[in-house]
Chain A
Amino acid sequence: MTETQTQTVTYIAVCRLDDIDPETGIAALVRGEAVAVFRTLDDRVFALSNFDPYGHASVLARGILGTRGEVPFVASPLLKQPFSLESGQCLDDPSVSVATYEVEVVDGEIRVGARRHGTG
């Protein structure tokens, strides 16, 4: 496993940017957790917990991506609840959100970092 120490955060390389079609997602295993990694049309990359808090299943990476206003989101493939890619917030219910992860692209390689505090 390739681990890079950046200050206090450990980033784990999961795949190359080209492994994800634009405007789709893919599931990755990060420190034993299922993480959904998404790529938007403008090659921004987001990482969310793959677990749908409504359907209680690990499926978010398989959802359709879209925009609501300016906010990029993924619609759960189970019952279509929309989650912001930026914050993990459910756009229809402010009391529900999924965890987000630090993520970066270095030399075409996607690396997922720590789970962000206060999310999920």
Chain B
Amino acid sequence: MSPHLRKKVVVVGHGMVGHRFVTAAIERGLTETHDIVVFGEEPRPAYDRVALTSFFEVGAEALSFLPSGVYEDPRVTLRTSTSVVEIDIAAQTVMLADGEEMAYDELVLATGAAPFVPPVPGSELGNVFVYRTIEDLEAIREAAKTAKAGAVIGGGLLGLEAANALHQLGVKTHVVEMNPRLMSVQIDEAGGRVLGKHITDLGLTVHTGVMTESISPDAVAEISVVDEDEGGVLDGKVSALRFKDVEEPLPVDMIVFSAGIRPRDALARAAGLDLAERGGVLVDEQCRSSDPHVWAVGECAAPGGRMYGLVAPGYDMAEVVADALLGGQGTFTGADMSTKLKLLGVDVASFGDAHGTTPDCLELTYSDAVAGVYKKLVISEDGTRLLGGVLVGDASAYGLLRPMVASGMTLPENPEELILPQSSGGGGGIQLPPEAQICSCNNVTRGDIEAAVDNGCESAAEVTKETKAGSTCGSCKVQVKKIVEDYFTAQGKTVDTSLCEHFAMTRAELFDVVLIHGYKTFDQIIEAHGTGRGCDLCKPAVASILASQLNGHVLAKENRKLQDTNDAYLANLQKNGSYSVVPRIPGGEITPEGLIVIGEVAKDFGLYTKITGGQRIDMFGARMEDLPAIWKRLVDAGFESGHAYGKSLRTVKSCVGSTWCRYGVQDSVGLAIMLETRYRGLRSPHKLKGGVSGCARECAEARGKDFGVIATEKGWNLYVGGNGGAIPAHAQLLAGDLSTEELVSYLDRFLMYYVRTADRLQRTSTWIDSLDGGLDRVREVVVDDVLGLGTELEAAMAHHTETYFDEWKATLEDPEKLRRFVSFVNAPDIPDPNISFGSTRGQIVPEVGEEPAAVGPVSLGASIPVGMPTLEETR
């Protein structure tokens, strides 16, 4: 099709649903015939508003759906910070705030909703907020720095999210709800009571059944006349809330309104499109408005007159419109409004007919006031079908129960077992039908999940990637995992977690076996627990376990045969058989004298030098037999092994910190040196990297490390589980505002817990993902110490730091260990002819030959020169 025949779709709004429409349009092929232009009013591209509260922990970039701001499909143009101010449906044009006009063939409205702020006197005061955008949260965070107490008006789902945010920011938080219970839309009275108790236990105050009458200004506020005609408006900040029929005002210095949302339909209204009675663009089952070329999706739309304030129906509408624009017949006929979420650490779920409005339905409840658990099932009159339910305090059964409602399957004989404690979250032997919807956000059924396994997905994580199941709100993840595992089992497929053919156990199991029996050598371990003589998988794994537990020398006679390529010679093997050498430079801090020593060593041994990503210097091209002489020079000058060759701590990178930087709030270099010195030499399942930044600007890129520390004015924030590499991961907040002492104790526990329980070659990010409960579980073990392991883990780390020694210095002192550093056992004076170098940009580079090079006819003399070379001989 020639370009001038291409049609244009204009999308107004780049929120979650607008973005979903664009991706659906690209995937379905609409961009083959249509150009798409998207206008977003916010300064940033679409982001995950469902996870808005995690913004304080993860930052804006982690929430973004399109961090680059550009769609890969060049036929889609995204313009952020751009508002559409007018639609002319007759001319088929939209007008932007700056007067620019743009014609469309099809117009998709995805303008979302706006928070509703009731007209309470004083609501225009300073420190009154809503909870919708990242900008709102930034403003709330700023105000929370000085606020002591705050109130959230509205005890619904979003209000509790907002209360959680205030609570996390250290503000004494009040929740104010007009109805007699919290979350009145989703849960019943008994459930609301249990939820309220949980929230009160956390230190928040809940006020139900109260009406906000007015907001009082603080003392400095005054009536200032802005406009003679409009009269005076209140200036200044809030100081208290006044309730109807309550004498005492509630002193607060910030307020967040979360009293519901209203569809943003002003553009449509002005354009003359039909609206629903209670607001929203009235659309048909294909989401088409009263004008055939204007469509509406998400919260601004009202299919059949009803507005949907959840993301899943919005996604469905986006798919329906993309389909309709391609001539499809898909329809949106209503949505499953089931919800499951964790509010302030409390599981809450509501599904189907949660309030039991079906005539003659039966209710089955389980309540444990002590544990704070409440569960209710709503069952059909004849007791055969599940209609809905409410879960508070323990929502593990949600993944099973919601699809049971949706699929209308027959209930098992004793339905109460579905909600009794100890019933597995997966629901015992209950088999959902293939058409049962498991992921309601992305409409994925059990059949879809099993088909993904048939198509080659090997794990639940791969199925999520393939089908999107569990990728939006995550509430069905456990169920997806269980379906995948059950399907594997049904196919006779077992997920083999053995280390290798010699050990039928995981690395974590082997770690415990070694610890319990106190083994000291590989031979003891394989004789007692393995078969054969090991391999290149289990030997380095055992070497790492023994090193983590005993901290002996990796080249000690009985265990050096286990060491992997690099550990075997305490250097990094490069492609032509030469090695690279990296001395430790803790925190990246080095004296001019140190730099000169490294320069001289590199020059004298003819080595290639390069600065590493971990703020140190790598010297390449060392011959194996030269390593001891190189290290003698380095050790004499005070350098230690940098363990660049080990699955062990590499570096703790730092920014320059408060010592020099105008912005720094803490001494990041000092802390980085302390941490790198503390954990140097720690052998671990994979390499470990750390970083310390002296302020929130994060110049040390600490969140790209296995452990990252970022200075705050009150102390340190500790992030864990980041890495670069092929699959980059941002570290997540484990704990905030820690003293240095707390930080070290949490880090000791975190690292040792990882060393003990991770699989071989599993970085911290995948290890955290593999734990049941993920980061929350790590926090329970490390911060809350629920397993009571804290002291033991810290003691293990103390043993490591007390027994640390520089393994290169120890090697140089031991002729037995040096014996192996020879080119040829029978010709130690002859360098390996296969190692040769060319030159690029003034430095050596390796050359690799197709065939082995041979030393010409050599006379090695009459005797066999066998034995250990002295240091003088190796040079």
Cβ-neighbour of B536 out of A20, A21, A59, A80 (below 8 A):
A80
B832: nearest residue on chain A (CB-CB)? A58
Query: Can you spell out 14 A-B residue pairs with CB atoms less than 8 angstroms apart?
Result: A2-B864, A14-B825, A19-B825, A21-B561, A27-B824, A27-B825, A32-B857, A34-B833, A59-B577, A64-B561, A64-B563, A66-B532, A68-B501, A75-B535
Q: Chain A's interface: helix, strand, loop or mixed, by majority?
A: strand
**Set of chain B residues within 8 Å of A41, measured between Cβ atoms:** 533
In this complex, the member of A27, A66, A73 whose beta carbon has the largest number of chain B beta carbons within 10 angstroms is A66
**Set of chain A residues within 8 Å of B848, measured between Cβ atoms:** 55-57
Known: A13-B864, A58-B577. A29 touches B565 (CB 8 A): no
- Contacting pair A67 B535 (CB below 8 A): yes
Cβ-neighbour of A65 out of B561, B835, B853 (below 8 A):
B561
How far is it, in angstroms, between the C-alpha of A45 and the C-alpha of B427 when the chains are bound? 59
B859: nearest residue on chain A (CB-CB)? A1
* B64 in contact (CB, < 8 A): no
- Contacting pair B533 A14 (CB below 8 A): no
Shortest A13–chain B CB gap in Å is: 6
Known: A57-B577, A62-B565, A62-B568. A34 touches B832 (CB 8 A): yes
Quick one: CB contact mask for A57-81 with B, threshold 8 Å, 1 for yes?
Answer: 1110011111111001101011010
- Contacting pair A32 B858 (CB below 8 A): yes
- Contacting pair A33 B852 (CB below 8 A): yes
How far is it, in angstroms, between the C-alpha of A107 and the C-alpha of B619 when the chains are bound? 43
Known: A33-B852, A63-B536. A15 touches B573 (CB 8 A): no
How far is it, in angstroms, between the C-alpha of A66 and the C-alpha of B500 when the chains are bound? 12
Shortest A99–chain B CB gap in Å is: 9
* A119 in contact (CB, < 8 A): no
In this complex, the member of B560, B852, B854 whose beta carbon has the largest number of chain A beta carbons within 10 angstroms is B852
B830: nearest residue on chain A (CB-CB)? A29
How far is it, in angstroms, between the C-alpha of A49 and the C-alpha of B852 when the chains are bound? 9
How far is it, in angstroms, between the C-alpha of A28 and the C-alpha of B832 when the chains are bound? 10
**Set of chain A residues within 8 Å of B564, measured between Cβ atoms:** 64, 77
Shortest A6–chain B CB gap in Å is: 18
- Contacting pair B824 A28 (CB below 8 A): yes
Cβ-neighbour of B852 out of A20, A34, A80 (below 8 A):
A34
* A50 in contact (CB, < 8 A): yes
How far is it, in angstroms, between the C-alpha of A80 and the C-alpha of B563 when the chains are bound? 13
3 nearest CB pairs, A to B:
A66-B535, A75-B536, A58-B834
Q: What count of chain B residues pass the 8 Å CB interface test?
A: 55
**Set of chain A residues within 8 Å of B5, measured between Cβ atoms:** none
* A11 in contact (CB, < 8 A): no
Chain A contacts to B: CB under 8 angstroms: 1-2, 13-16, 19-24, 26-29, 32-34, 37, 40-41, 49-51, 55-59, 62-69, 72-73, 75, 77-78, 80, 82
How far is it, in angstroms, between the C-alpha of A63 and the C-alpha of B562 when the chains are bound? 10
- Contacting pair A21 B557 (CB below 8 A): yes
In this complex, the member of B536, B569, B832 whose beta carbon has the largest number of chain A beta carbons within 10 angstroms is B536
* B133 in contact (CB, < 8 A): no
Shortest A54–chain B CB gap in Å is: 11
How far is it, in angstroms, between the C-alpha of A109 and the C-alpha of B113 when the chains are bound? 86
- Contacting pair A29 B824 (CB below 8 A): yes
- Other 4 A-B pairs with CB < 8 A, given A28-B826, A34-B833: A23-B561, A34-B852, A65-B533, A80-B536
**Set of chain B residues within 8 Å of A63, measured between Cβ atoms:** 536, 565
B577: nearest residue on chain A (CB-CB)? A57
Shortest A49–chain B CB gap in Å is: 7
Cβ-neighbour of B858 out of A16, A29, A82 (below 8 A):
A29
- Contacting pair B536 A64 (CB below 8 A): yes
How far is it, in angstroms, between the C-alpha of A46 and the C-alpha of B827 when the chains are bound? 19
- Contacting pair B835 A78 (CB below 8 A): no
**Set of chain B residues within 8 Å of A58, measured between Cβ atoms:** 577, 832, 834-835, 852-853
B532: nearest residue on chain A (CB-CB)? A67
- Contacting pair B536 A19 (CB below 8 A): no
How far is it, in angstroms, between the C-alpha of A78 and the C-alpha of B846 when the chains are bound? 15
- Contacting pair B855 A32 (CB below 8 A): yes
How far is it, in angstroms, between the C-alpha of A58 and the C-alpha of B30 when the chains are bound? 56
Quick one: CB contact mask for B550-568 with A, threshold 8 Å, 1 for yes?
Answer: 0000000100111111001
Known: A23-B561, A27-B823. A66 touches B856 (CB 8 A): no
A55: nearest residue on chain B (CB-CB)? B575
- Contacting pair A72 B533 (CB below 8 A): yes
Shortest A57–chain B CB gap in Å is: 4
B523: nearest residue on chain A (CB-CB)? A41
**Set of chain B residues within 8 Å of A65, measured between Cβ atoms:** 533, 561
* B637 in contact (CB, < 8 A): no
How far is it, in angstroms, between the C-alpha of A108 and the C-alpha of B576 when the chains are bound? 33
- Contacting pair B866 A16 (CB below 8 A): yes
**Set of chain B residues within 8 Å of A66, measured between Cβ atoms:** 502, 532-536, 539
- Contacting pair B864 A15 (CB below 8 A): yes
- Contacting pair B560 A24 (CB below 8 A): yes
- Contacting pair A62 B825 (CB below 8 A): no
How far is it, in angstroms, between the C-alpha of A57 and the C-alpha of B578 when the chains are bound? 9
B852: nearest residue on chain A (CB-CB)? A51
Cβ-neighbour of B860 out of A1, A16, A67 (below 8 A):
A1
Cβ-neighbour of B565 out of A15, A33, A77 (below 8 A):
A77
Shortest B716–chain A CB gap in Å is: 40
Shortest A67–chain B CB gap in Å is: 4
How far is it, in angstroms, between the C-alpha of A47 and the C-alpha of B841 when the chains are bound? 40
* B850 in contact (CB, < 8 A): yes
Known: A29-B858, A67-B533. A14 touches B826 (CB 8 A): yes
**Set of chain B residues within 8 Å of A19, measured between Cβ atoms:** 819, 825, 866-867
Shortest B609–chain A CB gap in Å is: 22
* B226 in contact (CB, < 8 A): no
- Contacting pair B568 A77 (CB below 8 A): yes
How far is it, in angstroms, between the C-alpha of A63 and the C-alpha of B539 when the chains are bound? 12
Shortest B332–chain A CB gap in Å is: 53
Cβ-neighbour of B561 out of A2, A24, A78 (below 8 A):
A24
* B861 in contact (CB, < 8 A): yes
- Contacting pair A57 B575 (CB below 8 A): yes
* B388 in contact (CB, < 8 A): no
**Set of chain A residues within 8 Å of B119, measured between Cβ atoms:** none
How far is it, in angstroms, between the C-alpha of A26 and the C-alpha of B825 when the chains are bound? 7
B824: nearest residue on chain A (CB-CB)? A29
**Set of chain B residues within 8 Å of A33, measured between Cβ atoms:** 852, 854
How far is it, in angstroms, between the C-alpha of A82 and the C-alpha of B534 when the chains are bound? 13
- Contacting pair B534 A78 (CB below 8 A): no
- Contacting pair A59 B860 (CB below 8 A): no
B564-592 residues with Cβ-Cβ distance < 8 A to A are 564-565, 568-569, 573, 575-577
* B849 in contact (CB, < 8 A): yes
Shortest B525–chain A CB gap in Å is: 14
B827: nearest residue on chain A (CB-CB)? A29
Cβ-neighbour of B540 out of A23, A56, A64, A73 (below 8 A):
A64
Known: A1-B860, A64-B561. A78 touches B832 (CB 8 A): no
B802-834 residues with Cβ-Cβ distance < 8 A to A are 819-820, 822-827, 830, 832-834
* B862 in contact (CB, < 8 A): yes
In this complex, the member of B560, B568, B827, B864 whose beta carbon has the largest number of chain A beta carbons within 10 angstroms is B864
How far is it, in angstroms, between the C-alpha of A56 and the C-alpha of B852 when the chains are bound? 7
- Contacting pair A50 B561 (CB below 8 A): no
Known: A32-B856, A58-B577. A1 touches B861 (CB 8 A): yes
**Set of chain A residues within 8 Å of B852, measured between Cβ atoms:** 33-34, 49-51, 58
Shortest B176–chain A CB gap in Å is: 64
**Set of chain A residues within 8 Å of B849, measured between Cβ atoms:** 56
**Set of chain B residues within 8 Å of A80, measured between Cβ atoms:** 536
Shortest A31–chain B CB gap in Å is: 8
How far is it, in angstroms, between the C-alpha of A22 and the C-alpha of B864 when the chains are bound? 21
**Set of chain B residues within 8 Å of A1, measured between Cβ atoms:** 859-862, 864
**Set of chain A residues within 8 Å of B859, measured between Cβ atoms:** 1
How far is it, in angstroms, between the C-alpha of A26 and the C-alpha of B859 when the chains are bound? 20
- Contacting pair A28 B561 (CB below 8 A): no
How far is it, in angstroms, between the C-alpha of A75 and the C-alpha of B861 when the chains are bound? 33
Cβ-neighbour of B834 out of A15, A20, A24, A57 (below 8 A):
A57
**Set of chain A residues within 8 Å of B820, measured between Cβ atoms:** 26
Shortest A26–chain B CB gap in Å is: 5
